[in-house]
Amino acid sequence: MRNLPIIALDFDSVEAVDAFLDRFEEPLFVKVGMELFYQTGPQLISSIKERGHEIFLDLKLHDIPNTVGKAMEGLSKLNVDLVNVHAAGGTEMMNSALAGLKKHNPNIKLIAVTQLTSTTEAMLRNEQNIQSSIEDAVLNYAQLAQSAGLDGVVCSPLEAELLKSELGETFLKVTPGIRPLDSTKDDQQRVTTPEDAKKMGATHIVVGRPITKNSNPVESYHKIKESWLS
As annotated, the binding site for substrate includes: 10, 31, 58-67, 117, 179, 188, 208-209
CB 210 within 8 A of CB 179: yes
The DSSP letter of residue 88 is G
Nearer residue to ligand C5P within complex by CB, 97 or 154? 154
Interface with ligand C5P in residues 52-111 (CB under 6 A)? none
Q: State the nearest-atom distance from the C-beta of 8 to ligand C5P, in Å.
A: 4
From the candidates 12, 18, 22, 58, give the one annotated as an active-site residue.
58
Alpha helices in the chain (DSSP H): 14-22, 34-40, 42-50, 65-76, 91-102, 121-126, 134-147, 157-167, 194-199, 209-212, 217-229
- # chain residues binding ligand C5P, by CB under 6 A: 14
CB 44 within 8 A of CB 37: yes
From the candidates 49, 63, 102, 164, give the one annotated as an active-site residue.
63
Instruction: Name 102's Cβ contacts closer than 8 Å, sequence gap at least 6.
Output: 76, 108
Q: State the nearest-atom distance from the C-beta of 214 to ligand C5P, in Å.
A: 11
CB 179 within 8 A of CB 191: yes
Phi, psi of 18 (to 5 degrees): -60, -45
Question: Is 22 one of the annotated active-site residues of the chain?
Answer: no
Report the residue from 13, 116, 184, 199 that binds ligand C5P according to the rule CB under 6 A.
116
Determine, following the binding rule CB under 6 A, whether residue 152 of this chain makes contact with ligand C5P.
no
Interface with ligand C5P in residues 173-212 (CB under 6 A)? 176-177, 186, 188, 206-209
Q: State the nearest-atom distance from the C-beta of 176 to ligand C5P, in Å.
A: 3
Q: State the nearest-atom distance from the C-beta of 64 to ligand C5P, in Å.
A: 23
CB 81 within 8 A of CB 58: no
Sign of CA dihedral 19, 23, 26, 29: negative
CB 16 within 8 A of CB 39: no
Question: Is 81 one of the annotated active-site residues of the chain?
Answer: no
Question: Is 63 one of the annotated active-site residues of the chain?
Answer: yes
Nearer residue to ligand C5P within complex by CB, 19 or 34? 34
Nearer residue to ligand C5P within complex by CB, 47 or 188? 188
Catalytic machinery residues: 58, 60, 63
Give the footprint of ligand C5P on this chain (CB under 6 A): 8, 10, 33, 116-117, 154, 176-177, 186, 188, 206-209
